[in-house]
Chain A
Amino acid sequence: MRARGRLALGGGIVLALCVVALLAGRLAPARPGALDLAHEWQGPTAAHPLGTGDDGLDVSTEILYGARVSLLVGLLAVALAGSFGTVLGAVAGYAGGAVDLFVMRLVDVLLAFPGLLFAILLVALLGPSLFGLVFSLSATAWVSYARLARGQVLSLRDRDFVLAARGLGASPARIVFRHLVPNLLGPILIQATFGIPGAILAEAALSFLGLGVPPGTPSWGALVDQGASHLLDAPHVALFGGAAIALAVLGFNLLGEELRDRLDSRSRAGPSAP
């Protein structure tokens, strides 16, 4: 019962997010970046359903268009990190030896950076751009996919189906891509579902620090940054922006947990709350 609620809630939020991102142009009451200088830092009105920010920027428009940026960055960063990490980890696990050693040392070095630090550094140096943001977020995120894929491959590579493929004369590349990678997609998919909210949060945090999207790009993190200096007279700007982030992250997290419980037998073993 509760699990069904989780799927409905998570799926609903994610679906709504996608719809909003696609239809932002039709739903938004104003054009992105349009200013209304007469109504700065105003609470919700009929013309501006979620109020206005600096120079009369319409908050609802920013949030609708911000969904595009968040979703785009989240999906692209996970796609890039997931595919790169999976392939590298699978190759390292199957090849073993020097290749494995090199990849895992690289992983160790990147893991020496705490959390977002490496991404902050990269994105600050690359300058504000969407591509730079996606690249910076994937630059460390691939590590967890690589570790996961390598571990899976290590446990799979001596299984009969791999031996059979090898016996039939399949090339190493064919074994990795046709036989091993499809078999480890389940755990990777779960990881990716949790990776998307992680990337959305990270994008928002970087944009909040002023290091994320180029100035003027609608972004939830940038909206919170803008509202932060007006907490006294216009708290709605920061709060609505932050709520949008929290809601999106919540949706993907719920979906990820649902997916994990369905695909991963280990976490299903325990007696979960009814």
Chain B
Amino acid sequence: MRRRHPLARQAIGALAAALAATLLVSVLLDLVPGDPVELLLGEQAQPIDRAALRKAMWLDLPLPVQAFRFLRGFATGDLRSSVPPFQQRIWPRLREVAPRTALLACVAMLFAVGLGVPLGVFSAVRAGAAIDRLSLAVSVLGVSAPSFLLGQLLLWIFGIRLRWLPVSGDDRMLSALLPALTLGLGLSALLSRVTRAAMLEALRQDYVLAARARGLSEARVIWRHAFRNALLPVLTIAGLQFGSVLTGSIVVEKVFAWPGLGTLLVDSIDKRDFNAVRACVLVFTLTYLAVNLLTDLAYAWADPRARGGGA
């Protein structure tokens, strides 16, 4: 019972943060310089029409009430677009676009971990050798290059020059490859550096010396002893960086014309569809908080010392 306590507190904290974030978004939307009613109806509109639109967009209500109505609609699934004709439900659109972004983010994480971690291990084992310097150079470049440049380069090479992969399009796995690679490369560069540092640290420990003294093969020492201990900080960083993958997807979705959650967010901001904006932000935020929570869980599972918060 006692052991679950810190986790429960974290979960409640995450929910509270999501609620506060929703309220904050409502405050922000209220602070917008241009009046959305003016934007939608033009300056010539009759006062009675303006009043009707304000009412329909909930702009006549106090902020906490707006936030509450939004959350109620979001929870019951009845949330509708807040621009005329107010009919379109938001959930079906979310259900349509969110899986595409999720696919992108997950494949990107696979790329990031699958490329970055082995690269980091190899450069730690061969610290100072050519492969280490090469991977250092590549990772410094990878961290520095903006995702939209990488995206354009990949598009140009694989899509236009070589014609191996589709340039843009629907949600088949194949067309997800390029955007996911774009999204994952930056993170893989970061992960390779974190892995390298963690591996160097692990390889210095006494248990590695002991394992070698017992005559274990070098591969076994590296992978079974050092790597397993080095993995913890790496996975934590990977989990915490999931948020940057999520927001990175907003940019990458534009490069590849990928109709995901980020595209919906940017479109909704353009159209001043406040409910859709709130919904997108809430989905992004909840996903991010959930992944952070899972990261903490995984950490506690992998490292008994971090469990329970006692001691």
Contacts and interface: CB of A to CB of B under 8 A. Distances in A.
Interface string B176-206: 0000000000000000000001001100000
Interface residues of B, number: 56
Contacts of A109: 17, 20-21, 24
Nearest to A123: B269
Interface in B212-253: 242-244, 246-248, 250-251
The DSSP consensus for interface residues of chain A is helix
A204 B146 CA distance: 8
Contacts of B145: 242, 245-246, 249
A112 B197 contact: no
Interface stretch (A15-23, A25-33, A46-54, A231-239): A231-239
Given A112-B14, A114-B243, A273 B127 contact: yes
A122 interface: yes
Contacts of B201: 270
Interface residues of A, number: 46
Contacts of B18: 112
Contacts of A271: 127, 200
Contacts of B254: 208-209
A270 B285 contact: no
A76 interface: no
Contact of B146 (A126, A227, A242): A242
Contacts of A205: 146-148, 251
Nearest to B251: A205
A249 B189 CA distance: 14
A121 B144 contact: no
Contacts of A247: 144
Interface of B: 13-14, 17-18, 20-21, 24-25, 28-29, 31-34, 127-128, 132-133, 136, 140-141, 143-149, 152-153, 155-156, 160, 197, 200-201, 242-244, 246-248, 250-251, 254-255, 265-266, 269, 277, 281, 284-285, 287-289
Closest 10 CB pairs of A and B: A242-B149, A114-B243, A115-B247, A112-B17, A114-B288, A250-B144, A249-B144, A116-B247, A124-B269, A109-B20
Interface of A: 2, 108-109, 111-117, 120-122, 124-127, 197, 201, 204-205, 208-209, 211, 221, 224, 227-228, 231-232, 235, 238-239, 242-243, 245-247, 249-250, 253-254, 270-271, 273-274
